Amino acid sequence: MSEDHTQKVVWITGAAGGLGRALISNFAAQGWRVAATTRRTCADIPESEIIWPFVMPVEDRKKITAGARGIIRRWGAIDALVNNAGVTTDRLLARMNESDWDTVLRVNLKGAYLCSQAALETMVPRRSGHIINISSNAAKTGGAGQSSYAAAKAGLVGLTQSLAGEVGIYNIQVNAIFPGVLPTGMTRNLPRAVLGNYARANALRRLNDPDEVARFIVFLAGMKNISGQVLQLDSRMGRWT
């Protein structure tokens, strides 16, 4: 299918989750064409003129390559990639089985590597593009029972900064986001007391919300001079190191 290529195109992974849906609606509202990929069919992400949902496990190289090339055939380019796909299987390390560890690293970190590599096929020749990785405050603080998740999200920071150095010469920007704790499916089953502790750790004594994070990411995808940065979007504060 060949369509008008004047609109910018964003590829969002993990599009079925709370932040993913907010990203879809905010990019679409700003006139972007949205390729929204999910690990399984999600009927309530509607296909429209500018939203194209399709199934693509982020850890499957062949499907990722085919998906990225499909986006390019349909809309001509990938102007921005948001690596938002993520899972967690919280468990103390002594009790964590290898399969759960591998799943978290494969989806959160390897998926970002594979999708970034696929997107760069079109970004490098065009000398333009944004890659935005959704990391987590867990990358720098860890958390009991979150060793696999913290390791994957810390890996995303390293990937972000290394890749920014590699592709800056091609005018490609790579940044990471710490979105803060969000009321999404990933946190739905956390006890109220735990969520309360997260809120109190913020100077504003409240959690962030997906829509505000998504608006920031849309704004970042339109900037020209920011790369290699880790941008924290809640009100938790830490020491300078």
Which residues have a catalytic role annotated?
A: 149
| Eight-state DSSP code of residue 222 | T
Question: For the chain, how big is the Rg over CA atoms in Å?
Answer: 17
Q: Is 36 left (phi over 0), alpha (psi -120 to 50) or beta?
A: beta
Q: Is 191 left (phi over 0), alpha (psi -120 to 50) or beta?
A: beta
Which of 82, 34, 75 minimizes the C-alpha distance to 58?
A: 82
**Could you give the CA distance from residue 225 to residue 204 in angstroms, rounded to a whole number?**
29
Task: Report the SS3 class of residue 182.
Answer: coil
| Eight-state DSSP code of residue 40 | S
CB 207 within 8 A of CB 181: yes
Number of H helices, E strands in the chain: 8, 7
Strands 172-178 vs 129-134: parallel, antiparallel or unpaired: parallel
- Strands (E) in 75-228, as ranges, are 80-83, 129-134, 172-178
